[in-house]
Amino acid sequence: MASHLTTAGGFVIVTHKYPLSSAGQAAPGTVASQLPGPMQTFLRGQPKALGVVQIIIGIVSLLFGPVLVDAYTFAGAIGLPLWTGVWYIISGSLAVAAENTPRRDLMKACLGMNIVSSVFAGVGFIIYSVNLSIRTSTIQYVGILAVLLVLNILEMCIAITTSAFGCKSECSYTAMVNVYHILHKHAPSSYSHNLNNG
């Protein structure tokens, strides 16, 4: 914080400047203690660790996708493991990037993608549950469907957790602005006495 004192026309103007860019971004490689409080709140959620798990879930979903497409399941017919896997990888990558380079725009992107991923994980949970409850020609794919169901539950928990930390951080984000204190040089003694005492 930088302060500047100016005297003009019998007034004393004290200006406090807080170092933050207009986009509310910290410089890359900034120590966490030098980051704004809301960004520290986001980083307390360990977005890098959660993002790595999201990427792994996305890769596993992508690997199981072609198997389910050939299985004549509803999940395979709509390509559920393929497009959810891609979304999970993108969400995880943004979470990792948001911790490596703590900037407000990356945190917002991570928040948005994790909200979308949690919705997709919820839809995946419903579709995989329905596929598991229907015992037709997909009996040999029950194991894959069960694994994908569990991974979608895990993804939903991770995406909601990351979104919660991002939302808490974004909602408490206040732009740091210049604060001006204008004091009259010849203020009454009671006024300056009150100012000095707090």
Report the SS3 class of residue 15: strand
CA-closest candidate to residue 100, choices 166, 30, 155: 30
Query: For 27-65, what is each residue's pLDDT tens digit?
Result: 444 444 566 566 777 777 788 899 999 999 999 999 998
From the number of C-beta atoms within 10 Å of its C-beta (0-12, 13-18, 19+), residue 29 rates as: exposed
Query: For 66-83, what is each residue's pLDDT tens digit?
Result: 888 777 777 888 888 999
For 75-87, b/e burial (b = at least 16 CB within 10 A) is: bbeeebbbebbbb
Six-digit token string for 171: 């909602």
Q: Tell whether pTM > 0.85.
A: no
